[in-house]
Chain A
Amino acid sequence: MQSEIDRAIDAISEVLFGKEKQIRQALTCLLSQGHLLIEDLPGMGKTTLAHALARVLGLDYQRVQFTSDMLPADILGVSVFDAASGSFRYHQGPVFTQLLLADEINRTTPKTQSALLEAMEERQVSVDGDCLPLPQPFFVIATQNPVHQYGTYPLPESQLDRFLMRISLGYPEHDAERALLRGGDGRQRIADLPVCLHPDILVEISRACDQVQVSESLLDYLQRLLRYSRENKNFAYGISPRGALALLRCAKTWAYMHGRSYVVPEDLQALLGPVFGHRLKASEEFADSSGLALVQRLLGEVDVLG
């Protein structure tokens, strides 16, 4: 099964040059049954990555471009009066899919955001008093612009927490960009990408990831990280137990992806940024440092060996 994962990564690398680390992280997120948030400036390849992921996972997907005048019904669906039957009939919204690409989620109002985020958490939608389950599996890949841009409604912390990971792509490396500029832009070929991970393989992988071992020493390190984030003055608040569980789940997948049957500290370190970056906030005295700067502190100052 590892070979399928590697093939998927290779396939996506063909349309998104030089971003193997981010592709692995994104794939880890989805293989860990989590929702993914991609944050970056416009034009950095957020949507390309989202599309490519949907493609290689072989899921049916819907894309919603969020705008400021959107209403919850535009995502969840709407009941329309059917003159023929004399009753209201429910039209499913785009959320009823296996993989939802929510583009520029912070462009829309908090009301619409929370409708989606509720669906992500509960994996069901309440319409007219009925609970309608969403298809299985259900993933959301949301993209957003950096919050300091105009016309954005930043997601509150509690809703950021619904995303298992937040990654950003950054500018391409020199060589990768050169390849891109030479006309090798693979975005056109997304539609031709092979389906590498069928849904039934996904289930198997997920089961295998659960089998990955976690030793006491590793838990010691994880707890040292947690204690540091809770006790250090630079942190406004520490990592919650849910955040810790999220990291552990991702680390297991990451270890599995690298062909190991146990988790090592390097696994935790590789995922600390994507998993903790959006769950941390600097205290007021050190307000100028971002979540990722705090992650750097955790990486640099918490002793691995203990």
Chain B
Amino acid sequence: MKPEFQLSRPALIWQMVAVLLVVLPLVWELPVWLLLVTLMTTGWRYMVYLGRWSFPHWSIRTILVAGLGLPLMLKIGQGISLDSMVSLLVLGFSLKMLEIYKRRDALLVMMVAYLVAASTLLFDQSMTATFYVLFCILIITTALGAVFQSSDSGLSGPFRHSAMILLQALPLMVVLFLLMPRLPPLWTVPLSSTSTKTGLSEKMSPGDISRLTRNADIAFRAEFVDRKPEQSELYWRVMTYGSYDKGTWSEPDGAHPLLPRHVSVTDIDLARSLGDELAYSVVMEPSFQQYLPALDIPLAFSAEIRQSTDFTLRASEPLRERYRYQLRSATQYRTYPRSAESLLRYLRLPPGNPKSRALAQQLVAENADAESYIAALLTRFNNSFIYSLTPPLLGQNDIDDFLFESQTGFCGHYSGALVFMLRAANIPARVVAGYQGGEWSPDGSYMLVRQYDAHAWVEAWLPERGWVRYDPTAAVAPERVQMPAQDMYQDQPDFLADLPLAGLHQADWLAQLRWQLDAIDFRWQRWVLNYQNRQQGLLERLLGKVDSIRLVFALMIPFALMLLVIYWQQRRQENPVVRPVWQRQLDKLLSSLIPLGWSRHEGETLRQFCERVAEGQPQWRNELVMLADCHERLQYSCEQDLRLESAMIEQLKRCRDQLGRR
């Protein structure tokens, strides 16, 4: 089948560039074969342009749609998710390249390209992504314009034209950004069917955290309002593990009920602040979990966040995009039990590890109270244990092996072993997982916490003080909690092993650059993505009071102004001289005939038009013919007679009257 119309060479080149550009960023989110399909159809399109191949027969196209679409449809059948929906969009978009028979098809492809480009922002809202999408829009607009331009204007002609159009649209874009209310979506699909994000998980077995130290992804950023805490104070609590079985720490569902909205643990007397508090805000990267990091005991936080009875925070739904929240935490506090029974589960131990149990009995006998028992344990850790990210594997009795054989490990091992020993001595205890420390930005304005800052520590229940934090890792390697993890881990062979250029990662100039980029991105996050938080304030300052009518006016006025400018420009170009009265009246008469179904064609003289109308409306014939006569004499007879003009105006009036009587 031959296409009915041929795109010009520049239009085709721009079209192919646009298609590849919009699909490119989706490679990371969608199956790789989709990109191959896009490449194939684009290549096919080019061969069609060269005239070597033709567009595939409809049967082949049907097979392609069925064969490629079916797996996607099956996947969607299992559960709608964003990536499968976007996959479907990209598949259809790519296959459409194989049937560009008409100009309409070429336009359609470019219109859909806008949608595909926009879908990139569903996955990534960083500044780079945003500017990339803007660039895509420029290219798509170029391709769209090139369809209408002849090949004489070359490659750069449509590009300049589209750049001009977008520049003109810029002021409107700013106005829309500032004033347009951010409405919630009408419907949503889950972001991803299988999200493979790294981060803390709901189970911890020794080794999990060492896996995280291979990862330099950003976990979150934090800004402190007034006081900046010390490095060793920064224990970012994310979740707690109370159950231990077969070497794995976890927390059963429902162990900690969520408190109602607007209620914090202090309101129901689970905790009390002892004075020192920190105010800060956190920008969390997408984690696909509901857990939110917070320091110690959070007291006050944003309304949509809920607190659990183990003091940790949950977002209302899994974080699919960056999320910013503000909160206040108590760093000195006293906690109380929900009930005496609730503490019992923090004493439970599975059978096994006899040597450790024996050691616990021995130490209990030697130490009078719980605190000195814990101190003795920590001293033991400090004396003979080694901190390492690559410890040897442990056997069946993992705690025994760790305490008596290997004596080598990292926070996961130490906190697990400490909790075991505490429970063996009848002291309620649990593992707390989260992040420790972080890295200050060079100007000190915010703190960056990466996945390799992940940490685990211990909380022990002391009857007089409530939950008390103990960090056995600090006893073994105090530097872990006193300096940023990056400096601490530098000598460890496994640290950042997953990064392709791990060595480069630590180069000075690169670190500088990384920080610069991160600072820009952070500001982008605060000023652009979180703009809606400030929008209310800006609107109030601009409009006095925000209601829908004022908002509509504020949005309409800039548009109206711009349309007015365009209107005047058009008028000036078309009518260099003022048209005489009769001409304006004639225009009005002609346009009043349009709704009645009579419109003059461009090439029709007034007489021909009047004849045509008179055919359909014989009762107007006399007036119309006289009108044509008057017009002819006035316009073409070259008689310099003012009466001709007044006769014309008179006749126009009579015609209007006649039409009015209709």
Contact = CB atoms under 8 A, between A and B. Distances in A.
Interface of A: 213-215, 217-218, 233, 261-266, 269, 285, 298-305
Contacts of A303: 602-603
A300 B638 CA distance: 26
10 contacts: A213-B636, A262-B637, A264-B607, A265-B636, A269-B605, A299-B603, A300-B601, A300-B602, A301-B603, A303-B603
Interface string B603-630: 1111110000000000000000000000
B635 interface: yes
Given A218-B636, A305-B606, 10 more contacts: A215-B637, A217-B636, A262-B637, A269-B605, A299-B603, A300-B601, A300-B603, A301-B602, A304-B604, A305-B586
Contact of A263 (B600, B606, B636): B636
A91 B530 CA distance: 101
Given A215-B638, A262-B637, A264-B632, A302 B603 contact: yes
- Residue in B605, B635, B637 whose Cβ sees the most chain A Cβ within 10 Å: B635
A9 B278 CA distance: 108
Contact of A302 (B602, B606, B607, B632): B602
B150 interface: yes
Judged by DSSP, the binding face of B is loop
- Residue in A218, A265, A269, A303 whose Cβ sees the most chain B Cβ within 10 Å: A265
Nearest to B633: A262
Nearest first, the 3 A-B pairs at minimum CB distance are A213-B638, A217-B635, A300-B603
A252 B509 CA distance: 85
Contacts of A262: 636-638
- Residue in B150, B608, B636 whose Cβ sees the most chain A Cβ within 10 Å: B636
A215 B636 contact: yes
Nearest to A302: B603
Contacts of B605: 264-266, 269, 304-305
B150 A285 contact: yes
Contacts of B607: 264, 266
A225 B536 CA distance: 58
Contacts of B604: 304
A126 B606 CA distance: 51
A213 B635 CA distance: 12
Nearest to A262: B637
B419 to A, nearest CB: 82
A233 B635 CA distance: 31
Contact of A304 (B150, B603, B637, B638): B603
A213 B632 CA distance: 13
- Residue in A266, A303, A305 whose Cβ sees the most chain B Cβ within 10 Å: A305
A303 B600 CA distance: 10
B604 to A, nearest CB: 7
A292 to B, nearest CB: 15
A254 to B, nearest CB: 13
Interface of B: 150, 586, 600-608, 632, 635-638
A177 to B, nearest CB: 28
B148 to A, nearest CB: 12
A301 B600 CA distance: 11
Nearest to B600: A305
A153 to B, nearest CB: 33
Contacts of B608: 266
A298 B601 CA distance: 12
A305 B600 CA distance: 10
Given A262-B637, A262-B638, A266-B607, A233 B602 contact: no
Contacts of B636: 213, 215, 217-218, 262-265
- Residue in A215, A262, A303, A304 whose Cβ sees the most chain B Cβ within 10 Å: A304
A267 to B, nearest CB: 9
Contacts of A233: 150
B635 A304 contact: no
Contacts of B632: 264
A303 to B, nearest CB: 5
Nearest to B583: A305
Nearest to B635: A217
A265 B608 CA distance: 10
Nearest to B152: A233
Contacts of A264: 605, 607, 632, 636
Contacts of A285: 150
Contacts of A299: 603
Contacts of A217: 635-636
Contact of A215 (B586, B600, B606, B635): B635
Contacts of A305: 586, 600, 605-606
A304 B638 CA distance: 17
B85 to A, nearest CB: 42
A305 B632 CA distance: 11
A265 B607 CA distance: 10
B269 to A, nearest CB: 83
A234 B632 CA distance: 31
A298 B604 CA distance: 11
A270 B586 CA distance: 25
B479 to A, nearest CB: 76
B614 to A, nearest CB: 16
A21 B131 CA distance: 66
Contacts of B603: 269, 298-304
Nearest to B607: A266
A210 to B, nearest CB: 14
A213 B637 contact: yes
Nearest to A297: B603
B651 to A, nearest CB: 16
A269 B602 CA distance: 13
- Residue in B604, B608, B638 whose Cβ sees the most chain A Cβ within 10 Å: B638
A194 to B, nearest CB: 35
Nearest to B151: A285
B387 to A, nearest CB: 77
Contacts of B600: 305
Nearest to A301: B602
A214 B638 contact: yes
Contacts of A214: 638
Nearest to B632: A264
Nearest to B575: A306
B576 to A, nearest CB: 12
A261 to B, nearest CB: 8
A66 to B, nearest CB: 38
Nearest to A298: B603
Nearest to A299: B603
A236 B638 CA distance: 35
Contacts of A269: 603, 605
B586 to A, nearest CB: 8
Contacts of A304: 602-606
A263 B605 CA distance: 13
Nearest to B602: A303
A294 to B, nearest CB: 13
Contacts of A218: 635-636
A306 to B, nearest CB: 9
Contacts of B635: 215, 217-218
Contacts of A300: 601-603
B180 to A, nearest CB: 40
A228 B22 CA distance: 40
- Residue in A214, A215, A263, A269 whose Cβ sees the most chain B Cβ within 10 Å: A215
A233 B8 CA distance: 15
B126 to A, nearest CB: 45
Contacts of B150: 233, 285
Nearest to B604: A304
A303 B635 CA distance: 15
B613 to A, nearest CB: 15
A207 B592 CA distance: 45
A27 B608 CA distance: 24
A214 B635 CA distance: 10
Contacts of A302: 602-603
